Chains A and B, each alone.
Chain A
Amino acid sequence: MIDHAITLFALTLAAGTVLVFAALGELVTEKAGVLNLGVEGMMLVGAVGAFIVADDTGHNWLGVLAGTLAGGAVSLIFAVLTLSLMANQVAAGLALSLFGIGLSAFVGLTHVGHVVDPIAPLAVPVLSGLPVVGRLLFGHSPFVYLSLVLFALVQWFLFGTRAGLILRAIGESPQSAHAIGHKVIAVRYAAVAFGGACAGLSGAYMALAYAPMWTEGMTAGRGWIALALVVFANWKPSRVLAGAYLFGAVTLVQFQAQAMGVAVPSQFLAMLPYVATIVVLALISRDATAIRLNAPASLGRPFHADT
C-alpha cells in the first residue's frame, strides 16, 4: 500500500518535472514583460537536439547540454524579432511554436525509432536503500532534483538579488526602467534566452529520461500547459512548483485508470490534462484584481527606447 503510494508520488514528481522546467523558464521571461508563446516549439527543439546528440555520441549528459542550448538558440529568433524588430509578441511566439514543431519533426526523422539508454533515477549508495525514506527522497531522476535546484535559484534570483529586482521592475514598467537608465532590451534578451534554455532542458528531460525516445510532437501540448501554469501560479515560482505537480498528478490518472481497468475509453482519459488546464485557467483568471497585482504590467507590449 505504502509502496504503491510512493510509486505514485515518484511518478507525479517525474511527470510534473517536465512542466517545472518549462514553466519556471517562461515565468522569468514573463516577469521581464515578454510573453513567449513558443514554449511548445522550444521544448521540441530541445528534445530532438538532446536525443540526436545523445544517440550519435553515446553521451547522455552531452545530449542534455545540447538540448538546453538548442532551446536557448531558437528562442533568440523570437528575441530578435520582438525585442529588436518590434514584432508582435503573440504572432512571433506562435511562429516560433509552429517553426519549432516543424523543424524538430524535420531534423529528427532520421532518429525516429532509435533507442537510447535513458538517464536512470538516482541510486545513492546507502541512502537510496533505506526502507521508505530511501525511495521517497533519494530515488528520483536527477532531473527532479535539478528542477528543485532551479526553483530555488529562480526564487532567490528574482526576490533576493538586485539583478532580479531590476528584471521585475522592467516587467512592471520598461519606460520607467529605461528612464532611470537600466538596459531594458539586454535584460529581456537574457530573460528570453533563459526561458528558451529551460524549455530546451525540459525537452531534453523528456527525450532522455522521462519518455525516453523521440517522436515528432512528443510534448503533446505540454508547452501550452506550461504557459497556462504560469498564469495559474500568479507568476510566483512556488506556485509554479505546486501547479506542475498537480498537473503531473492529473496526467497520471490516465495511466492509473487504465491499469485499474476502468471502462473509460483511453481517448477520454487522455483529454484530462487539457480539460484540467481549461478549468484551472477559468478559475484563476476570474479574479481580475489578483491578476492585476501579480501579472507584470507590461506583459506582451513592445518597448521602443525612443517612445
Chain B
Amino acid sequence: MMISLEARSEPSRLMAWASPLLAAVATLVAGFVLFSLLGKNPVDAFFVFFIEPVATRYGIGELLLKSSPLMLCALGLAIGYRANVWNIGAEGQLTIGAICGGGLALWLPQLNGALLLPLMIAAGAAGGIAWAAIPAWLRTRFNANEILTSLMLVYIAVLALSYLVQEPWRDPEGFNFPQSSLFGDNAMLPLLLPGTRLNVGFLLAVAVIAAGWLFTARTLAGFRMRVAGLAPRAASYAGISTGRTVWIGMLVGGATAGIAGVGEVAGPIGQLLPSISPGYGFAAIIVAFVGRLHPLGIALASLLMSLLYLGGEAAQIGLELPSAVTRLFQGMLLFFLLATDVFIGYRLRFRRNPGPAAAAAESLAR
C-alpha cells in the first residue's frame, strides 16, 4: 500500500479554513496524551488547563487581556509576512516600546492622564518603529537578512531593559530590586470590566485589527503588499518597490509591537521590570500563522494562544506542572498547523502496489 501526496489542481478552500481548527484540535489531543504521560488524570488536567481558567468573569477578563498584545503584535507581523518581510523581532520591538512609553511615565509623573496616556502610546509606537527600522534599513541598504537582524535586536533590547531597571531607572524605594518605580494612576490604562484587569488596551487592539483588515483587503497599498509576497517579479513589474514593501512591513510590525509593549507596562504590570513579556512577541508569530495572516483569524488565534498562557499558569498551581508547558504547547500548535496546512495544496493518495507478476499480466492484456 503506497501513500503519496498528489498536488491539487486548485488549493482547497475548505482546508484553508479547516486547517487551523484541525491543528488546534490536534494540540488539545496531544495535551491529553501529555497529561497522561505525566501521570496526571487527563480529564482533570484538561479541565484545569483549558476550562477552568475561563470559567469565571475574572477569567474571561484575563483571556481578553492577554489576547491584546498578541493581537497587536500578530497583526503587524502578518502584514509583513504577507509581503515576505520576515520580522521575527516583535519581542524586541515590544520591549523598546515599553521602555519608551514607560520612560515617559517615569519622566512626567505629574502629567494629566488624558494627555499622558496617548503620549505614552505614541511613544511606544515610535519606539517600536525605530527598533524595527534598523532591520529594515539593513535589509534595504545592505541586503542583510531581516530574520537574523531583527532577532539579534531582541537580545539587545532585553539587555537594554535589564540595564535600565538595574541602574538609572531603578526605584530608589524598591529595596534594591531591579525594577522601576510604580507608575502613577495617570499612567495606567483605564479598566474596562470591573472585577477584572481588562483595560481599554483591548479596544485599541480590536481597532487595530479592524484597521488592518481595511488596509489589507480594501486598499491598493495593502494589495501591493500581498503581490510583493506572492510574486516579487510581478511586484517589480507593477512598479511596487521592494524597498517600500520592506519598510512598510517592518515598521507596521514595530508600531503594533511597541503599542503592545506600552499596553503591558501601563496595564497589568504597572512598572518596568527586567522581564515584561512571557514571550508575547514570539507567540505572536505563531498566532499570525494560525490565524492565516488574516485579521479575523488572528483575533481568534489570539484567544486560543491566550488560553494556552492561562492554562499554563493554572497548571503550575493546580497540576504542579512547570510553566514551560505553555511554550511546549505553542511549539506543538505551530507544528500541527504546518502539517495540516499541507492538505490545502495536496491530497493523500492511496495506491495499491501490485507485485511484478500482476503488472506484467496487466500489460500483456493490452
The residues of A with any CB-CB pair to B shorter than 8 Å are 37, 77, 81, 84-88, 90-92, 94-96, 98-103, 105-106, 109, 216, 220-221, 224-225, 227-228, 231, 265, 267-268, 270-271, 274-275, 277-278, 281-283, 285-286, 288, 291, 304, 306-307
Q: Would you call the interface of chain B mostly helix, strand, loop, or mixed? A: helix
**A90: which B residues are within 8 A, CB to CB?**
86, 147
Majority secondary structure, A binding face: helix
A91 and B331 contact, CB distance less than 8 A: no
> Measured between C-beta atoms, what is the minimum distance from A258 to chain B in Å?
14
Residue pair A87, B339 in contact (C-beta under 8 Å): yes
Cβ of B197 < 8 Å from any Cβ of A? no
B5 touches A106 (CB 8 A): no
- The smallest C-beta distance from B132 to any residue of chain A, in angstroms, reads 14
Taking CB atoms, residues of chain A closer than 8 Å to B6 are: 306
User: A179 CA to B229 CA in the complex, in Å?
Assistant: 29
Taking the closest CB of chain A, its distance from the CB of B5, in whole angstroms, is: 7
Chain B residues with CB under 8 A of A91? 289, 334, 338
Contact of A98 among B134, B138, B155, B286 (CB under 8 A): B286
Nearest Cβ in chain B — how far from A113, in angstroms? 14
Q: Give Cα A88 to B334, complex, Å.
A: 12
Which residue on A lies nearest to B152, using beta carbons? Answer: A274
Q: B residues near A, CB below 8 A? A: 5-7, 86, 88, 134, 138, 141-145, 147-149, 151-153, 155-156, 159-160, 162-163, 166-167, 282, 285-286, 289, 322, 324-332, 334-335, 338-339, 341-342, 345-346
- Min C-beta distance of B68 to chain A, whole Å: 21
Taking CB atoms, residues of chain B closer than 8 Å to A100 are: 331
Contacts of A106 in B (CB 8 A): 322, 324-325, 327-328
Asked if B346 contacts A86 (CB within 8 A), the reply is: yes
Taking the nearest CB of chain A, how far is it from the CB of B204, in angstroms?
Answer: 27
- Name the CB-closest residue of A to B341: A87
Q: List 21 A-B contacts (CB under 8 A).
A: A81-B339, A85-B338, A86-B342, A87-B338, A88-B338, A91-B338, A95-B286, A98-B330, A99-B331, A99-B332, A102-B330, A106-B327, A220-B155, A231-B145, A267-B162, A274-B155, A275-B152, A278-B152, A282-B144, A285-B145, A304-B7
The listed residue (A87, A102, A282) touching B138 by CB distance below 8 A is A282
- The complex places the Cα of A100 from the Cα of B335 at a distance, in Å, of 11
Q: Which of A92, A103, A286 makes the CB contact (< 8 A) with B143?
A: A286
- Among B148, B152, B328, B334, the most chain A Cβ lie within 10 Å of the Cβ of B152
Instruction: Note all chain B residues with C-beta closer than 8 A to A86.
Output: 5, 342, 345-346
Picked from B162, B324, B339, the residue with its CB within 8 Å of the CB of A109 is B324
Partner pick for B156 among A87, A88, A103, A271, CB 8 A cutoff:
A271
The answer to whether A281 touches B148, judged by C-beta atoms less than 8 angstroms apart, is yes
Cβ-defined contact, A275 with B338, below 8 A: no
Is the Cβ of A105 less than 8 Å from the Cβ of B324? yes
CA distance A87 to B337 in the complex (A): 10
Measured CA separation A98–B288 after assembly (Å):
14
Which residues of A lie under 8 Å from residue B142 when comparing CB positions? Answer: 281-283, 285-286
Inter-chain contact A306/B156, CB cutoff 8 Å: no
| Given A85-B5, A285-B143: A105 in contact with B155 (beta carbons within 8 A) | no
Q: Identify B149's interface contact among A103, A216, A220, A281, CB under 8 A.
A: A281
Q: A90: nearest residue on chain B (CB-CB)?
A: B86
Give the residue of A85, A221, A291 whose beta carbon is less than 8 angstroms from that of B155.
Answer: A221
Contacts of A277 in B (CB 8 A): 148, 152
Are A102 and B338 interface neighbours, CB within 8 A?
A: no
Give the complex CA separation of A227 and B145 in angstroms. 11
Chain B residue with the shortest CB-CB distance to A225:
B152
Contact assessment for B148 and A94 in the assembled complex, using a CB-CB cutoff below 8 Å: no
Q: Is A227 a contact of B331 with CB atoms below 8 Å?
A: no
The minimal Cβ–Cβ distance linking B95 to chain A, given in whole angstroms, is 13
* Interface contact B334-A98, CB-CB below 8 Å: yes
Answer whether A278 and B153 are a contact pair too, CB < 8 Å, given A85-B5, A95-B331, A265-B163: yes
Complex CA gap A220/B158 in Å reads: 12
Least CB distance, A39 to chain B, in whole angstroms: 11
Q: What separation, in Å, do the CA atoms of A34 and B142 have in the docked complex?
A: 23
Q: In the bound complex, how far is the Cα of B147 from the Cα of A103, in angstroms?
A: 22
Q: Which of B147, B289, B322 contacts A105 (CB 8 A)?
A: B322
> Max chain A CB contacts within 10 Å: which of B155, B160, B286?
B155
What's the nearest-Cβ distance from chain A to residue B75, in Å?
A: 17
